[in-house]
Amino acid sequence: QVQLVQSGAEVKKPGASVKVSCKASGYTFSSYYMHWVRQAPGQGLEWMGIINPSGGSTSYAQKLQGRITLTRDASTSTFYMDLSSLTSDDTAVYYCARKNSGDESTYMDVWGKGTTVTVSS
Residues that bind other proteins (CB under 8 A): 33, 35, 37, 44-47, 50, 59, 61-62, 95, 97, 99-100, 103-109, 111-114
Question: Which lies closer to other proteins via its Cβ, residue 27 or residue 47?
Answer: 47
Ranges of beta strands (E only) in 1-121 are 3-6, 10-12, 18-25, 34-39, 45-51, 58-60, 68-73, 78-83, 92-99, 108-111, 115-119
**For other proteins, which is the closer residue by CB, 5 or 17?**
5
One-letter amino acid for residue 102 of the chain: G
Compute the least distance from the CB of residue 46 to other proteins, in Å.
7
**In the complex, minimum distance from the CB of residue 120 to other proteins, in angstroms, rounded to a whole number:** 21
* CA-wise closest residue to 20 among 84, 64, 76, 83: 83
CB of 47 to other proteins, least distance (A): 4
The nearest distance, CB 16 to other proteins, in angstroms, is 25
